Structure 1
Amino acid sequence: MFSKILVANRGEIAVRIIRACKEMGIATVAVYSQADADLLHVALADESICIGRAASSESYLCADRIISAALVTGAQAVHPGYGFMSENAEFARMCEKHGLVFIGPQPETMELLSDKERTKRLMQEAGVPVIPGSRVIKDQETALAAAEEIGYPVLLKARSGGGGRGIRQVDHAGEMEHAFSVASNESRTAFGDDAVYMEKFIHPAKHIEVQILADEEGNTVCLGERDCSIQKRNQKLIEETPSPVVSAEQRDFLADVCIKAAKAVKYVNAGTLEFLMDQNGEFHFMEMNIRLQVEHPVTEQLTNIDIVKWQIRIAAGVLLDFKQEEIPFIGTSIECRINATASGKVEFLHIPGGPFVRFDTFLFTGMVVPPHYDALIGKLVVFAFTRGEAIRKMRAALCELVIEGVPNNIEEQIEILASPEFQDGSYNLDFFRNEVK
C-alpha cells in the first residue's frame, strides 16, 4: 500500500480523497492555486504546495508542476479526482515515466476509451447495445449525408471530453451548418480536439449509468445503476440509485453487459458506463467514463462500498475481496448537487445531520468561493430503506442546509423534489424543458 498520495484536484473531491487516505493511514499532499490557498483541502492535507495562479491552465492543468510537486514531496501515487487531469492519458503516462502510480486506468485504456466513436464500436463488438450513429464527421456535407441515413433528429457530439460540452441537437438539415460549426469550435476550445461524431437523438429518454470496479486480474463487479435524468443544459443536478424505473431483470441485464464490456477492453479501476433508456425500456450505450464520477456517493451509500478507497487499493495491486452476489441493493440513495450561482463569502453555514445524511463539501464559514472554477460547492446525499422516505429525508435536509453569502440552487432542488414527475419517478431528460423554466 502507498505511504503518501498527492491529490491533483481541489474543492470537495480533494477533501473527499484526503479523508479516505487518512482513514487508510496514508499521508497526503495537496496542490493548490493562489486563489485556493485558504481552502479546506489545503488545511487537511499533511503537506501542500502552490502550483500556480488562479487560472486552471496555470495550475491544476499544469502536468509538469503536479509531477514536480509529487516528486519533491516523495509521493508514490497521484489521485486525479474528476475533471482537470483525470482523463488525460498523457498525464498518466508522465506519472508512470517518473515512477508515480496514476490512480485510474492505464494510459492505453484511457486513450482507447477517450475516443467515443471508437468506444461505441468496441462496445458493439462486445455485445453492448449502442445508439445508432456515424463515425467521425469531417465536414458539413458528410454530416448532412450521415443525418439523412440515421434520420433526424440527431446529436453532434465531441469525440473527446464530456461534461455536456461539444453537444448540439439538429432537428433538420437547415440547422446543420450552424450546429456543426458550434459543436466543433466548442470541442476544440474545451478539449483541444475539434472532431465530432453523430448519433441518433433518442427521445424521450432516461439517462442511466452503471458503476463498475475491476482489478488487475480481471475480477469485475457492478455496483448498480444511477438515474441521472434530472439535467439542466446537459449538467446533472440530481442522481438516485436504484433508478425508480429499472426492473430487477433490467438491472441484471445491465450488470451482465457492463461486466462483459469492461473485460473486453481489459479495464482496471473504477469506471462508469452510460446509457440512454428509451420509452420502450431498451438501453443504448453512449460512452464510458474512465474516472471517479461526481455522483459516486449515492452508490457508496447504497452498497456500503467505498469507491475511493477501492480505487486506491486497486492501483496498489490489491484484488477485490467481494463478489457480485455479495453486494447489497437495499433501499434508495439520492444526491442533490449544490451549485453556486455566483462567487461570494460564506457568512453563515449550517450543515444538516441525522442518520444517513451526508454532505460532501469544502465550505466553511468565512471562506470565499472563488469565481475561477466549477460551480459545484457541495453534494447532499441521503439514504433510506424506501424511496418515499429518501425523498422526504432529502427535502428535510435541503431545508436545513443554510449557505448564506453565496447564491446557490438549494431552493431549485426543493422545487424539483416536490414535482409530481420526481415523486413518481417518471421524470426524464425533458424535465427542465417541461417543468422548471
Structure 2
Amino acid sequence: MTHAPDAFTPGPEPFTPTADPAALHDLRARLRATRWPDAPAHAGWSLGTDLDYLRELVTYWAEEFDWPAQEAKLARLPRFRVRAGGLGIHFVHARATASAGAALPLVLCHGWPDSFWRYAKVIPLLTDPGAHGGDPADAFDVIVPDMPGYGYSDRPTGEVLDSRDVAGLWAELMTTLGYERFGTAGGDIGSHVSRYLALDHPERVMAVHRMDGGLPVFRGDPAELTPEERAWFEEAAAWGASEGAYGAMHRTKPQTAAFGLTDSPVALAAWIVEKLRAWSDCDGDIERVYTKDEILTNVTVYWLTGTIGSSMRMYHANAAIDPAQLARRVEVPSGFSLFRGDIVRPPRAWLERTTNLAYLSEPEHGGHFAPFEQPERYAEELRAFFRPFRAH
C-alpha cells in the first residue's frame, strides 16, 4: 500500500491509498491456486462457511471484482492520517454540509471484522440529513477512525492496545481536530470503545449511543438480578458455547490463526464471511444484505493491509482488562438501538443497571452491522437519540 507510517506532520494529512498492481496480481494468483477442502454432502453453513458459496464468491473475486473501482468509491470519503499515541491513525473526517444547522461532532467506533467500512453508507446521511429526508438541524460532523491494527491505521509493534486504550486515543484525536465536546457511538468492540470514552472522559462526551450492551459482567449478588437479566445471562452463555469459537481463538491463540489467514485470501474470506452472514439480518442469505462487491471490499481491505492478525490480537488485550473496569456504570446519558437481528440483546433492566439510560429502541430490521445493513434507519436512530443534547 502507498503510505509511509513515519512520514507525518503535526496535523492531519489527506490520505488516499492506491493498491500496488503487483499486490492485486498476487491476490488473483493465490485465489486461482486455492487448495479447497472437502465438505460433507448438504453441510451448507452448519459446520462453518459453506463450500459452494465460498467457491462462487472466490471465483468472482479472482475474475470480476474491480478493486480499483471500489477503492475509488472509498476515496470519495474525506480521509486523513494523523499521529496519535505514537501511531499513525487513519480516519474519515466528514464535516456537515454548509446548508446544515449547527453540527454535533460525532466519533463512530467500528468493531470486528470490519473497519471504517462499517459506516461508509451512513456518513452522508449524517452530514447532510436534509438531502436524505431528515431535518438539517440534525447534522453531524462525523469522525470514523480505524482502530490501531485495523484498516489503514498502524499495527502496534509492541503492547497491543485494548478498548480502553483506544478510547484514550480517540479523545486525543478529537482534541487534535478541535472538538472539546462530542458524542460517540459504536457497535461490537466499538461499543466498548464508546463506553470507555464515556467512562474515562465524561466531561467531554455529551452522550453515548451503543448497539449492544456487551456480554454480561456482574459482580453483585445474583439474587439482585431480574428474571429477564438471568435469562439473558443464560442466553449469552449458550451463544458463547455454540458461536463463540472464533472469540476463544482470538483471545487465546490469535497468532496461530494469523498464519493461515494472512497467507490465504480464501481462508481470510471464510473467516470473515461466515460472521457477516451469521450476525446480519439476512435469514441465511448473505446477499440479501450485501452485494459481492460490498463483501469483498471489506475482505480486501483486510487482505491488502495485512491486518487480520493484528485485529484479532485486540481480543487478547481486551481479555486482560481488569474485571472492575467491566463493572463500572456509565453515568453519561446513554442510548441503545437493539436491532432485532443482532446477537445477544440485553434487556432494559440490565441497561438501566449499568448505564444512565436515556433512550432505548428496538428496530425491526437490521443486525450486528446495522450501519451498513440499514443505514437509513441507523441514521434515524442517531438523530433521534442525540437531538436533546445538541444545546448542551
Do they fold alike, i.e. is TM over 0.5? no
Place the TM-score, normalised by the shorter chain, in its bin. Answer: 0.3 to 0.5
Q: Indicate the structure with greater helix content.
A: 2
> Normalization by structure 2: what TM-score?
0.34
Bigger strand share? 1
Q: Which has the higher contact order (CA 8 A, sep 6+)?
A: 2
Q: TM-score, normalised by structure 1?
A: 0.31
